[in-house]
Amino acid sequence: MTSTPNSPPAPTPFPSSSSLNTSSTSSTNSGSSPPATSPTPRQRRFNPDLLRPYLKRLLAGPEITGAVWDRDAERLVKRAEEMSAEVKRRMADLEPAGYKYLCQVSFVPFPSLPFPSSPSHSQLTSRDTQRL
């Protein structure tokens, strides 16, 4: 294909994976094993059962169960960050290596429950922690 003076050069194709192997590499490694394609080792999972008793104590504590809704957003954000840092520290104490810990704490107003047979606030929140 000839190019005219004003036409752009023809695009060059990307090299295929087979063209990346050079003949010198294949001839020197002819006696060795094929390239390593071993599967990555399975990463162990964090055991949430180790953290659950701590979360239950935290949620059942007077700081949570006796809390009154605060309309000051800055104070709520600061307290949520403090609680998140406490939980992350506890997670790191339980399993110190191999994990990146993310913890999200959010405060929402909890409406008063009209029926005495309804579960209490601490029961609802401790049930929610089992989803972690």
pLDDT digits (tens, 9 = 90+) for 22-58: 444 444 555 556 566 656 666 778 888 999 999 999 8
Q: Which residues of the chain have pLDDT under 70?
A: 1-42, 112-132
DSSP characters over 70-119: ---HHHHHHHHHHHHHHHHHHHHHHS-SS------------PPPS-TTSP
pLDDT at residue number 26:
46
Tell me if the pTM is above 0.75. no
pLDDT at residue number 54:
92
Distance in Å from the first CA to the final CA of the chain: 63
pLDDT at residue number 86:
93
Count how many Cα atoms sit within 13 Å of the Cα of residue 108 in the half-sphere of its side chain.
6
pLDDT at residue number 121:
44
pLDDT at residue number 97:
82
